[in-house]
Amino acid sequence: MQLSTSIIFLEGFMLPCLNKKLFGIACPGCGAQRSISLLFQGEFVEAFQMYPATFTLIPLLGFLLADNFFNFKYSNKITITLMVSSVALILGNYILKFL
């Protein structure tokens, strides 16, 4: 099975937003699954437009995983910077959805 075929197959199993179904309002995480799917398809601009925080959350998760195995000199500062930028992008994107 090719990568593009398996991604299309997995898109059928994406979780729906419970907040959007119950209240009709998108949550701050809406679009993250589709953004990751677009990343795997190589659609970087579309992935950023869908959910900009993907580009800070993936490095954050990768860094936190690597930090468990290796000692980095400024790991706290790097972690805090990635966390703050992720939260800023999530909140900024969420606010822009309502404008």
Mean pLDDT, consecutive 10-residue segments, the chain of 99 residues? 60 80 87 89 91 93 94 92 95 89
User: On the CB side of 45, how many CA atoms lie within 13 Å of its CA?
Assistant: 0
User: Are 60 and 45 a contacting pair, CB within 8 Å?
Assistant: no
What radius of gyration, in Å, describes the C-alpha atoms of the chain? 16
Through-space distance between the first and last CA atoms of the chain, rounded to whole angstroms:
42
* Entry pTM: 0.77
Nearest Cα neighbor of 53 from 76, 15, 25, 85 is: 85
Distance CA 75, CA 78 (A): 5
pLDDT, position 5: 61
Distance CA 24, CA 6 (A): 30
Read off φ and ψ for residue 72, nearest 5 degrees. Answer: -105, 145
